[in-house]
Structure formats: C-alpha cells, structure tokens
Amino acid sequence: MQNKQNRWIIHVDMDAFYASVEVLDNPYLKNKPVIVGGTSNRGVVCAASYAARTYGIHSAMPIITAKRLCPNGTFLPVRMQRYQELSKQVFNCFYQITPHVEGLSVDEAFLDVTGGKLLHGDFETIAWKIKNLIKDKTGLTASVGLAPNKYLAKIASDLDKPDGFFYIKPNKIQETIDPLPVKCVWGIGPKAVEALKHLQIHLIKDLRDTDYKIFKKIFKNRAQHFYELSHGIDNRKVEKQTKDKSISNEQTFSSDLTDLKDMNIQILYLSEMVAWRLRQQNLKGKTISLKIRLSNLKRLSRQLSIDNPTNSTATIYNISKDLLNTWFKLQYNPSVRLLGVEVSNFNNNSQLNLFEAQADIKSNKIDSVLDTIKKKYGIDSLKRANLINIKRN
Ligand SMILES: [Mg+2]
C-alpha cells in the first residue's frame, strides 16, 4: 500500500501565533508568559507563549484557570486585525515559493512544492527557504513539516516545535509515525481516542495493526480514510485558493452554537443571503467556502470547488452544509461563535449535463420567484420554512 501520487507537501504552522505577534509588538515580553484571550476573567485562552505553557497553560483553557496557574503572566486582549495583517504577510511568503497554497487558518497552511524543484532547489532547501523567508519578512518563527503527503506534513510540523523543521522521508514513514499516540492522526478527536483506548489501541502502530473490522466499528463510513492514514497514506490534493473577488456573509452569535441543527439553519440563512447578492450582480462562482470561528476564537475554513459556476441558493446551501457536517463529525463538542458562507472564483460559463441542467432550471425558477418577491417587499419578506424561527442578531 502506498501513496498514488509523487507529491511533496510542506505544512507550515506559526508558533503560538497570537502570542508571538504580541511579543513582536512588545519586545519586553520576550521569554515571558504571555496569554492572549481577554483581560477579564470570562473567556478562554486563545494563545499562550511557550513561556506560559511551562505553567501548564494551553489554548481553550478558561482565563480564570490560567490566571490561577500564572498570576504574574501578561494577559492581553485579542487583536484580530493585527494578527490578520501578519497572516497576510506570512501568506505572501508562501506565494513567493508556489501558487499551490491551501490555508487552514490564519497561521497554518499546506504548500504543494512538487513542481518547485528546478526553480528553488531540492525539497529540503525549499522548506528552509520558506521558514527563513517568514522570519526575515515578519520576525516570527514557524514550524515546518516536509513529507510526501498532507497528513504526514501536518504531523511533521508538530514534531520539532517551536521554530522547528522536520522531514519525513518516504522510507521512514512507518517508523516515524508508529510510536506517536493515535490523537496525532489528523481528524481523530478525543471521542475516538477514548473509544480506541478501551480496545488497547494507544499508538498509531496499534491502530495500523488493528483488524479492518475495528476501523469500520469506530469510524463507520470514514473507516477506509483512517485505515489509510494509519499506514501513512493520504492522496488528498492541496486545494489552491483563488485570489479572486468573492461575496460572503457571516454571522456572529450572541451565544455560541453547539447543536448541528441550529448551525445548519444559520447556513441556510447565510447561503440565501450570498446567493441573493450573487444573483443581483449577475455573478456565478465555482468555489463555495465555509468559515467557522470557534469559541476560543480560532478561525478555520473549508471549501469546495465545483465544475459549474452557481448562484443557486440550493446548491450553495447543500455544499456549505456538507462542508459543515463533515467538519462537525470529526469534532468533539465544538462550540461555534461565528459561521460564514462565501462564493468566489467567478465564472459565468456553465456546461451542465442534461440532468444537472434540469435540476438547475428547477432551482433557478424557485430562486427567481423568491427574488421577485424580495425585490418588491424587501429582503426579509420571504423566508424559506426553516428560516422562520431564525434568530437574527
Ligand atoms: Mg500555530
């Protein structure tokens, strides 16, 4: 069993990103315990400097606990705009090396450097180049993992943190990942870790040696995926982000959402808003993105590109809902503060097959009837049945 494609993937993860930005802007905080996440006792830790981590402080811990562990630490509020500025500079470094960049959050991305060998030297040199470029341009340190696929690259960037570099060579895959705990498998959350523990499966090696029936039992329809990961196999591509214009709507909730049903209703509302705005401007897009901000302020996004550009509420809703549900299934009790839906990669030439065309006409008809009513009576005049009870903040 092996990876189908010969790819070279780099995973870059900034070290204690928000806290490091604060230290960058306030150099006297260097090597001191810095905790970002608000100054009041409510709320949770969004980032802790490595000095703060030695006190046992980590992300998502209640601020009040962190204050008890380290009363003399520097507690700072979140300055998201500043972090985003730095994030942009970091991503600009990536684009100097390759256009094949997939951002996972403000401080984390995959780069496919398979085609970069001639231009930039061997893959190790490329990985170091990225690391040094980030340090030069921003003054911040990153941990970099280099491996033949996304999953292994993500593992690698975590093996030498902070300011790390780790290279998983193709002939060293199994011996590198086997001794790691199963929680290092990308997507295995605390719930699955607990279930595996009951079966005496603690390390990736234990998981790899497990009967496929166990995979079926624990991971259901994701069994094959996790079976492959336990063998170091991952054939997912780096999904390039478009730099095109986009249309998006997002909603911050007055109290965090924990129920998937509530989230899906919000997704319907957001899809409706985005699709309506696209139709008003006669735009259709091929990339649908879902944005999530968790209660610990960590941001992430998921996206899917389709062959035929769309501005149909039904299509945008179904895709963003699927992205949300796929993400949700792999989490343990996620608490969501913000959801957003975005359509980008505009292109108005669609080539539908006969069945898709018929489905599209039907959904377009519904959209155009709704749009006529909205134009006449205002955007809130008509809501799909599920939206009637939606709370707008
Ligand atoms: Mg990070």
Each residue's pLDDT tens digit, 186-238: 889 888 999 999 999 999 999 999 999 999 999 988 899 999 999 999 999 99
- Check pLDDT > 90 for residue 330: no
pLDDT of residue 134: 97
CA of 161 to the centre of ligand 1 (A): 10
CA of 14 to the centre of ligand 1 (A): 4
Query: Token match 């403000």: residue?
Result: 106
pLDDT of residue 393: 41
Element (H, E) at 50: helix 50-53
pLDDT of residue 389: 53
Q: Which of 241, 239, 238, 240 is nearest to 150 (CA)?
A: 238
Q: Which residues contact 389 (CB under 8 A, 6 or more apart)?
A: 265
Q: In this predicted model, what pLDDT tens digit does every residue of 165-190 receive, in sequence order?
A: 999 999 999 999 999 999 999 889 88
Q: Which of 154, 301, 116, 166 is nearest to 234 (CA)?
A: 154
CA of 198 to the centre of ligand 1 (A): 31
The CATH architecture of the domain made up of 246-387 is 2-Layer Sandwich (3.30)
**Average pLDDT in the 321-345 region?**
92
Please identify which of the residues 102, 108, 272, 342 carries the catalytic annotation. 108
pLDDT of residue 243: 47
3-state DSSP call for residue 64? Answer: helix
CA of 20 to the centre of ligand 1 (A): 10
pLDDT of residue 351: 46
| Bridging pattern class, strands 34-36 and 47-48 | antiparallel
**Average pLDDT in the 37-41 region?**
75
CA of 107 to the centre of ligand 1 (A): 5
With beta carbons less than 8 A apart as the criterion, state whether 100 and 7 touch.
no
> Distance between CA 31 and CA 38 in Å, rounded?
20
CA of 214 to the centre of ligand 1 (A): 32
Task: Name the more confident of 220 and 54.
Answer: 54
Give me the phi and psi of 278, to 5 degrees please.
-60, -45
CA of 362 to the centre of ligand 1 (A): 45
Q: Helices then strands (H, E): number in the chain?
A: 15, 12
Print the SS3 string covering 310-361: ECCHHHHHHHHHHHHHHHHHCCCCCCEEEEEEEEEEECCCCCCCHHHHHHHH
Question: Of 53-57, 99-103, 153-157, 207-211, where does mean pLDDT reach its minimum?
Answer: 99-103
Phi-psi domain of 320 (left: phi exceeds 0; alpha: psi -120 through 50; beta: other): alpha
Whether 17-80 shares its CATH topology with 178-230 is answered no
**CATH class (in words) of the domain with range 17-80:** alpha beta
> Distance between CA 235 and CA 229 in Å, rounded?
10
CA of 220 to the centre of ligand 1 (A): 30
pLDDT of residue 279: 84
Residue 359 pLDDT level (bands cut at 50, 70, 90): low
pLDDT of residue 239: 84
C-alpha separations of 54 from 34, 57, 255 in Å: 11, 7, 32
Q: What angle do CA 143, 144, 146 make, to 5 degrees?
A: 155
Percent of the chain with pLDDT over 90: 58
The CATH architecture of the domain made up of 178-230 is Orthogonal Bundle (1.10)
Task: Name the more confident of 2 and 229.
Answer: 229
DSSP-derived secondary structure letter, 193 = H
Percent of the chain with pLDDT over 70: 87
Q: Where are the domains of the chain?
A: 17-80, 178-230, 246-387
Task: Name the more confident of 365 and 321.
Answer: 321
Q: Which residues contact 270 (CB under 8 A, 6 or more apart)?
A: 249, 250, 251, 320, 339, 340, 341
Residue 296 pLDDT level (bands cut at 50, 70, 90): confident
Query: Has 108 been annotated as catalytic?
Result: yes
Question: Of 36-45, 88-97, 340-349, where does mean pLDDT reach its minimum?
Answer: 36-45
**Number of neighbouring beta carbons within 10 Å of residue 120:** 17
Chain CA centroid to CA 238, Å = 13
The strand pairing partners of 167, in sequence order, are 146
pLDDT of residue 362: 66
> Distance between CA 72 and CA 175 in Å, rounded?
42
Q: Which range among 46-55, 297-306, 378-387 has the greatest average pLDDT?
A: 46-55
CA of 18 to the centre of ligand 1 (A): 9
pLDDT of residue 21: 97
**Average pLDDT in the 238-264 region?**
81
- Check pLDDT > 90 for residue 373: no
